[in-house]
A and B are shown apart, each in its own frame.
Chain A
Amino acid sequence: MREFYGVSLANPLMLGTAQYPSPAILEDAFRQSGACVATVSLRREAGQGQAFWDIIRGLGVHALPNTAGCYSAREAITTAQMARELFETNWIKLEVIGHADTLQPDPFGLLAATEALAADGFEVFPYTTEDQVLAARLLDAGAKVLMPWGAPIGSGLGLNNRYGLKTLRAAFPDVPMVIDAGLGLPSHAADAMEMGFDAVLLNTAVAQAGDPVAMARAFAMAAQAGALAHAADPMAPRDMAAPSTPVVGKAWL
């Protein structure tokens, strides 16, 4: 299994921590799914920060702070520096957003921020598209993990460009990759893992489900099933039928 900056994950599910109906349901979703990475953010202090951080620490998971909502490399870099001090980790889920409607990454700002942060000792998880050229540039800039999107954040559309993702996976066979954003159903997670991705990261699909705890479990099971299937080397599809029961020895009736 590919490692994330030296960390191998027992479970390929990374879960966000926002939008849950209650902190208790958030905790339960993590415990019952076995997700071992939690994305977190930082916002203006309003008195609840410590309590939230205590919950995350109590889960014993790896914290992956994000730079959500940053629209420039400078903003993202400053946010990452603040996150490193606050969460005591070099991991950073680097988001430099380029458009408010699609929340798609700004590739130019993303590359600039990746370069600066990697040089400063950060372990960057860039939230990127399936663009292969951008991926190569991000790796050159010092990223050792890539997080291509499935679909726009919060859309639940699944894998919007399977061809592009498949090509990306094949182009960089040694690079750990997480499908981040846009997953809506466990089948999307299974699909991503069957394609050879190393983990999936999602939030809304679990937090906004009618039963977030059950949905978190469903995603974990699907991601694990997909990983197992990928490792088991799936059969190649074919256009025509092929009998599975032996033809030899069939009675002549």
Chain B
Amino acid sequence: MKIDVNGTAHEVTATTLEAALQELGWGEARVATALNGDFVAKSARAQTPLRDGDRLEVLAPMQGG
């Protein structure tokens, strides 16, 4: 299916958020996730299904003021 990851279209075979992160190479990364604008906790990723057209945000620590 086609999902939007950090603003870029991606074709994934994964059907859960957890699997999609693995597929995208962020399996071990220190990241936080939001699906369609809502926070998804790390512990909930495996139970979170993905649907065609979903918007996934994958964020990491960054410098800030």
Residues of A participating in the B interface, judged by any CB pair closer than 8 Å: 16-20, 26, 39-46, 48-50, 52-53, 56, 65-66, 68, 74-75, 78, 81-83, 85-87, 153-154, 203-204
- B65 & A86 in contact (Cβ 8 Å cutoff): no
Cα–Cα, bound, A46→B5 (Å): 12
- B32 & A85 in contact (Cβ 8 Å cutoff): yes
- B63 & A50 in contact (Cβ 8 Å cutoff): no
Output the nearest chain A residue to B21 by Cβ-Cβ distance: A45
Cα–Cα, bound, A56→B26 (Å): 21
For chain B residues 1-59, which have a beta carbon within 8 Å of chain A?
A: 6-7, 26, 29-34, 37-39, 41-42, 57-59
Interfacial chain A residues near B58, Cβ < 8 Å: 44-45
Cα–Cα, bound, A58→B15 (Å): 37
Cα–Cα, bound, A203→B58 (Å): 26
- A41 & B37 in contact (Cβ 8 Å cutoff): no
Output the nearest chain A residue to B59 by Cβ-Cβ distance: A42
Range of interface residues on B (Cβ < 8 Å): 20 to 34
**Can you list 11 A-B pairs with a CB-CB distance of less than 8 A?**
A16-B65, A40-B64, A41-B61, A41-B63, A42-B59, A45-B29, A45-B59, A52-B63, A78-B37, A82-B59, A85-B39
Cα–Cα, bound, A203→B64 (Å): 8
- A86 & B59 in contact (Cβ 8 Å cutoff): yes
Cα–Cα, bound, A68→B63 (Å): 11
Cα–Cα, bound, A154→B64 (Å): 12
Known: A45-B29, A85-B42. A18 touches B37 (CB 8 A): no
Output the nearest chain B residue to A77 by Cβ-Cβ distance: B39
- A50 & B65 in contact (Cβ 8 Å cutoff): no
Output the nearest chain A residue to B38 by Cβ-Cβ distance: A78
Known: A78-B37, A82-B34. A52 touches B6 (CB 8 A): no
Question: 10 smallest A-B Cβ distances: which pairs?
Answer: A49-B60, A41-B64, A16-B65, A203-B65, A82-B32, A81-B39, A45-B60, A18-B63, A53-B61, A43-B62
Interfacial chain B residues near A154, Cβ < 8 Å: 65
Output the nearest chain B residue to A26 by Cβ-Cβ distance: B63
A44 contacts which of B30, B38, B42, B57 (Cβ < 8 Å)?
B57
B37 contacts which of A19, A20, A66, A74 (Cβ < 8 Å)?
A74
Interfacial chain B residues near A18, Cβ < 8 Å: 63-65
Interfacial chain B residues near A40, Cβ < 8 Å: 61-64
Interfacial chain A residues near B65, Cβ < 8 Å: 16-19, 39, 41, 66, 68, 153-154, 203-204
Output the nearest chain B residue to A63 by Cβ-Cβ distance: B61
Known: A82-B32, A86-B31. A49 touches B63 (CB 8 A): no
Cα–Cα, bound, A86→B60 (Å): 8
